[in-house]
Structure 1
């Protein structure tokens, strides 16, 4: 006796089909939405040329179930078969998202073009699933082409990622899987890896992006035999605690970096990276890196020190923290090794903090992954000490510029700016403004910021010294206040435990 699995084959034609048809080759459906409702058993769905959108009857997001194979035209990467639209999806990892398609476990999407025109829209979302995504085009999405998170383990093969607003591919959470033989072109970030992502990235071409590959938090990808060329800023950027596998003496990586504008490899961490068998321009390496020729033990290596001035150098002379009200917060951040600016005790807690210093602090503390494309601020040249931090903080939604396209890096931050920044950057859910009644000076909160202040109040991010009920939103923030609120934001997202302080939380007014 032979075991067999019944497979249903359906046909879709958005031009000549009708959703009242049978879905056969001669009687095709009009919409993919209709086909996805027909059967829960394994299904092959053939898409004819045309645009699949709300206008043609699609209801977004489209959910491709387990066992389903959606097939367009693989030979031309789906150039004539366009799925375009956006709908809300409640991600267990990241909350409500605007996505075009959700791929469930072992689903396959082959030979289509996917675009999400919505602001902050994602083309394909993969959440703790292991689908196959092959021979497609991901283009012109409002945020990124593909987002993978949770315990996802996708196979992302032979696709084109082009002209997406923030990134071609983002992998977060504990994503694994394979990213093979894809083309990433003209995206601000070709590939962005965050959290604990550990995919294999091999045989891809990354060209004419701003930065080809950006790693943050604890990402540890294996990077092999990629061509990383002609990127307008650089090739591989490594931040946070990320450690890419760039080869070893038993396994040469063989990546080729060529004609990148500012850097081939930028190691912004304090840990030395080992590169074995990669073609790199030594003059375009920033940070600690040891170069080892293919199949050789470490000889004739080069060590490159990061050229940019650290935040601790930008801050002034040491000061004792004994008896200072913010000492527990500052010491806690030191023990978490989340910022370098406390390392030698020179934080000067009662002085104001510049916008450049603030951008550096939130970049180090939160390692934000990119949400939007960071603008090129007219007053932040590329050789400015905080240029990369400002770009990362801006693309992560923590900081923004002014209407004249300036960032004003030397201007000091207000308390209100810090509060709004943390709420927006972390994407915290809004709270009811009634909670603002606790503040004696609530009338000084601008209308545009009331929701953000209410949210930060509810989340216990706001720290008020010396009067817990005096918000003083327009006063310049001291470095102590910034440190305390950054720490409280880490508490709010579950990264650390709360510190008891009379200056934190809601206090009834008498």
Structure 2
């Protein structure tokens, strides 16, 4: 059973039991009590040595430290540093140390110590999501050894050295982060081979810097307006910038010196990226992108990143039903976000909605766009609508509340008891247009709130796992599939 400790640096006391009514005063105390599955919920406020914190704060195996993911932790500020002896980099000044399957969500972290690092992951598998890392004297997140972190949806700003550093043999997924006004946005060195997807990297000294024998995979990143280069490759580094079956989709533009500088000993091959050849230096081959060939969906037991995920059973069933698919690299990426176009395609696969209104032509969805037909059918079925300026924003991430409203309206669901109201800790953040739909969705058991059921996070971008569960729950309500027990379903 999941245990939740509450922490409040203003009203809390470490003699309290750590309940919502009687919270602990500091994170340090809560971490001492934490075990696998423990959620440490932080109230708004400042957490530092003055409030009793002892740094570095080590988040144990399977524990979750959560603040406010909706505002990227801007109201939950943690500042401090302690000595950490790294097995691969000797003594370090660190705020957080993350162990296997530990999670850090919705906090702001600053480390003002000399060469200060906000979060250290050494040969561990943590998740660091929807946080803000700012004004650190070195970097926001450092992953080393055989680390395999998920670093997703964070903001890295005004850190002295790098936003994110990936070293030694580390891999992991770095997705949907913003790196701005720092030294290097993302630095990958040694033999590290992380996957960088959908990151926005701008106004730094350099955007992405690769060195040593680094072998990262770059997909759909935006590097622009950096003082020096968008992408710098040195030594024997060799990034994957796309292939025939998996185009890069990266954009390198408007950088001060070069959009791409290859100073390595390797020839780089760019497939399907947006790069001005006049702002490229070094040995780079540009390859045209042919029409992509659909990739067969891997069978469920080959998806290599869902076996330990909280939404595993739901994803497994939807893949069996051929409603959702994995990626060509045999991953599902459950904690990645989902665009409006991807969601439209999922809706069509799951519900095949009949037409309830006339189609319209969105000016940002061309007839040859890959999801054109799915968007049209989802619109005609009243699952999705466009914006007042006649756009659909197909590549914009879909928010959790938009998924809820979409399912309720598209399926024509209604509340059985109109007098019932919802009660979430962040109730006030539910947009006025969605309040009735949220009530209906609760009654229909459509909503999943992970890791804290009392927090809806309505305007946060939905993850692929969250969308999968909510779609599955809609199928349960329609009696098309059997119910799966999950403690994060809101009832």
- Corresponding residue number in structure 1 for 2:376: none
**Using the alignment, how far apart are the partners of 1:176 and 1:280 within structure 2?**
26
**Using the alignment, how far apart are the partners of 1:114 and 1:69 within structure 2?**
16
Say whether 1:283 aligns with 2:274: no
**Using the alignment, how far apart are the partners of 2:14 and 2:255 within structure 1?**
50
**Using the alignment, how far apart are the partners of 1:250 and 1:9 within structure 2?**
45
Which of residues 172, 178, 185 in structure 2 aligns to 1:183? 178
- Corresponding residue number in structure 2 for 1:261: 256
**Using the alignment, how far apart are the partners of 1:7 and 1:89 within structure 2?**
29
Tell me if structure 2 keeps the 8 A contact 1:278–1:293: no
- Corresponding residue number in structure 1 for 2:227: 232
**Using the alignment, how far apart are the partners of 1:25 and 1:274 within structure 2?**
55
TM-score with structure 2 length normalisation? Answer: 0.59
Unmatched 5+ residue regions in structure 2?
293-491
Which of residues 71, 77, 88 in structure 1 aligns to 2:72? 77
**Using the alignment, how far apart are the partners of 2:87 and 2:234 within structure 1?**
26
Tell me if structure 1 keeps the 8 A contact 2:34–2:60: no
Report the secondary structure of 1:76's partner residue.
Answer: coil
- Corresponding residue number in structure 2 for 1:162: 157
Q: How many residues of Structure 1 are paired with residues of Structure 2 in the alignment?
A: 292
How far the C-alpha of 1:293 sits from its partner, in A, is: 2.1
Say whether 1:49 aligns with 2:41: no
Instruction: Provide Cα deviations, 1:437-457, integer angstroms capped at 9, x if missing partner.
Output: xxxxxxxxxxxxxxxxxxxxx
TM-score with structure 1 length normalisation? Answer: 0.57
- Corresponding residue number in structure 2 for 1:60: 55
Which of residues 129, 133, 149 in structure 2 aligns to 1:134? 129
- Corresponding residue number in structure 2 for 1:493: none
Report the secondary structure of 1:161's partner residue.
Answer: strand
How far the C-alpha of 1:14 sits from its partner, in A, is: 0.5
**Using the alignment, how far apart are the partners of 2:227 and 2:36 within structure 1?**
47
Tell me if structure 1 keeps the 8 A contact 2:237–2:266: no
**Using the alignment, how far apart are the partners of 1:36 and 1:20 within structure 2?**
14
Aligned ranges 1:137-152 → 2 under 5 Å: 137-152=132-147
**Using the alignment, how far apart are the partners of 2:264 and 2:102 within structure 1?**
37
- Corresponding residue number in structure 2 for 1:10: 5
**Using the alignment, how far apart are the partners of 1:15 and 1:280 within structure 2?**
51
Tell me if structure 2 keeps the 8 A contact 1:186–1:208: yes
Report the secondary structure of 2:274's partner residue.
Answer: coil
- Corresponding residue number in structure 1 for 2:312: none
How far the C-alpha of 1:209 sits from its partner, in A, is: 0.6
CA root-mean-square deviation: 1.1
Tell me if structure 1 keeps the 8 A contact 2:183–2:206: yes
**Using the alignment, how far apart are the partners of 1:295 and 1:138 within structure 2?**
40
- Corresponding residue number in structure 2 for 1:31: 26
Report the secondary structure of 2:50's partner residue.
Answer: helix
Instruction: Provide Cα deviations, 1:370-394, integer angstroms capped at 9, x if missing partner.
Output: xxxxxxxxxxxxxxxxxxxxxxxxx
**Using the alignment, how far apart are the partners of 1:53 and 1:19 within structure 2?**
15
Instruction: Provide Cα deviations, 1:285-335, integer angstroms capped at 9, x if missing partner.
Output: 0000011122289xxxxxxxxxxxxxxxxxxxxxxxxxxxxxxxxxxxxxx
- Corresponding residue number in structure 1 for 2:199: 204
**Using the alignment, how far apart are the partners of 2:214 and 2:138 within structure 1?**
20
How far the C-alpha of 1:272 sits from its partner, in A, is: 1.0
Tell me if structure 1 keeps the 8 A contact 2:36–2:60: no
Say whether 1:217 aligns with 2:217: no
- Corresponding residue number in structure 1 for 2:247: 252
**Using the alignment, how far apart are the partners of 1:39 and 1:202 within structure 2?**
32
**Using the alignment, how far apart are the partners of 2:183 and 2:34 within structure 1?**
40
How far the C-alpha of 1:56 sits from its partner, in A, is: 0.4
Q: Which has the larger radius of gyration?
A: 1
How far the C-alpha of 1:8 sits from its partner, in A, is: 1.5
- Corresponding residue number in structure 2 for 1:100: 95
Tell me if structure 2 keeps the 8 A contact 1:198–1:219: yes
**Using the alignment, how far apart are the partners of 1:76 and 1:223 within structure 2?**
27
**Using the alignment, how far apart are the partners of 2:251 and 2:150 within structure 1?**
23
- Corresponding residue number in structure 1 for 2:112: 117
